[in-house]
Amino acid sequence: MKVNVAVVGATGLVGSMMLKVLSEENFPIDNLYLFSSKKSAGKIINYCGKDYTVEELREDSFEGREIKIALFSAGGSVSEKFAPIAAKAGAVVVDNSSAFRMDIDVPLVVPEINPEDIKKNKGIIANPNCSTIQSVLPLKPIHDKYKIKRVIYSTYQSVSGSGIKGISDLEKGTNLAYKYPIKNNCIPQIDVFLDNGYTKEEMKMINETKKILHDDSLLVTATTVRVPVRNSHSISINVEVEKSFEIEDVKKIIAEYPGIILEDDPEKEVYPMPLMSADKNEVFVGRIRRDFTVENGINLWSCADNIRKGAATNAVQIAKKLLEV
């Protein structure tokens, strides 16, 4: 069955990737509608050999078009205003912004982990933060088998997470996305600071992890850092679990988990890196080893393309599941 699909924010980095992944996945699209701000409206985008004119997003954009799935990646304020309008017109919105992620009526979904939550949607499904997605994937099999007590995230996030402006700051030395130069630097601030001393990005990782894993008792802390890498985030994850484990079994359950590729062979100096995980849809995990400082501790390292699995791919995977329910 083919459906009408809309992409909101179609000219942005994530929106463009959404279109690429939709075409790679041969998504069964009947009519495709592309929306953007007034500034980018009128642009022509080719999708599967056919040219589409990008329309300015307006309050009546969804009327009478029988749009079944609307993929949004145009920022929080656009989602806040237009996602409810799209949902009211009959679409299910898969929203890449943080606007609705912690709303109790909005499922927050990584399809390999909690696809059952998709059915609970009331018109909006939230796509988690990029750094959260690639972190919770290896944590899920560990949590299911060994019950996680505490998680410490330290992130190494690429500039593509800040969109085209971030890439320009790295490659052209502009000053569009960051207050400080990113070339030859690391910036321990992603998004704004909150009253508790954490950044918004850090609190996203903390709160979203608990919501996706359905466990508010988890102790989670995070430090998020922007690094001079073009694309693909890396996360160092320290985990403390309740039950004792064999480290080889931890490697096995992670390797067997869908959506993950294990790259872990210290003897051959094999481990995930952003350069190699860029433009891939999977999450790459390695450096899995025992943390000897606590009774049951694990260290691991996760790399993933933040524009693909961290955003567009995850959104399209949710959309595919929507067609099944």
Secondary structure class of 285 (helix, strand, coil): strand
Is 160 one of the annotated binding-site residues? yes
Residues 238-277: x where in contact with ligand 2RA by CB under 6 A, - otherwise, as a string? ----------------------------------------
Is 15 one of the annotated binding-site residues? no
172 HSE (CA, 13 A, CB side): 9
The phi and psi torsions of 240 (rounded to 5 degrees) equal -115, 130
Q: Quick one: how far is CA 306 from the chain centroid?
A: 6
For residue 124, the minimal CB distance to ligand 2RA (Å) is: 18
Query: Which of 21, 69, 130, 212 is in the footprint of ligand 2RA by CB under 6 A?
Result: 130
Region of residue 9 (left: phi > 0; alpha: psi -120 to 50; beta: else): left
Secondary structure class of 254 (helix, strand, coil): helix
Q: Given the complex with ligand 2RA, which of 13 and 57 has the nearer CB atom? A: 13
Beta strand 260-262 with 297-304: parallel, antiparallel or unpaired?
Answer: unpaired
Secondary structure class of 75 (helix, strand, coil): coil
Those residues with Cβ within 8 angstroms of residue 290's Cβ, 6 or more apart along the chain or in another chain: 247, 297, 298, 299
Please tell me whether residue 169 binds ligand 2RA under the rule CB under 6 A: no
Is 306 one of the annotated binding-site residues? yes
Q: Given the complex with ligand 2RA, which of 136 and 241 has the nearer CB atom? A: 136
Query: Which of 12, 111, 138, 161 is in the footprint of ligand 2RA by CB under 6 A?
Result: 161
For residue 113, the minimal CB distance to ligand 2RA (Å) is: 18
Query: Which of 162, 207, 234, 302 is in the footprint of ligand 2RA by CB under 6 A?
Result: 162
Buried b / exposed e over 164-191, threshold 16 CB at 10 Å, is eebbbbbeeeeeebbeeebeeeebebbb
Does the annotation mark 130 as catalytic? yes
Q: Given the complex with ligand 2RA, which of 4 and 97 has the nearer CB atom? A: 97
Number of shown-chain residues binding ligand 2RA (CB under 6 A): 9
Query: Which of 61, 131, 135, 313 is in the footprint of ligand 2RA by CB under 6 A?
Result: 131
Q: Is the dihedral of CA 85, 307, 34, 323 positive or negative?
A: negative
- Judged by CB under 6 A, the chain residues 181 through 220 that form the site for ligand 2RA are 190, 201
Stretch that binds ligand 2RA, among 5-13, 57-65, 106-114, 129-137 (CB under 6 A): 129-137
Q: Given the complex with ligand 2RA, which of 110 and 250 has the nearer CB atom? A: 110
* DSSP output for 109-166: --TTT-GGGGGG-SSEEEPPPHHHHHHHHHHHHHHHHH-EEEEEEEEEB-GGGGHHHH
Residue closest to ligand 2RA when measured from CB atoms: 161
Do 21 and 83 meet the contact criterion of CB atoms below 8 Å apart?
no
Is 49 one of the annotated binding-site residues? no
Does the annotation mark 143 as catalytic? no
Those residues with Cβ within 8 angstroms of residue 124's Cβ, 6 or more apart along the chain or in another chain: 83, 84, 87, 92, 93, 95, 100, 103, 106
Q: Which of these is catalytic: 48, 186, 214, 233? A: 233
Residues that bind ligand 2RA (CB under 6 A): 129-131, 157, 161-162, 190, 201, 306
Catalytic residue positions, numbered = 130, 233
Q: Please report, in range form, the residues annotated as the binding site for NADP(+).
A: 11-14, 39-40, 160-161, 306
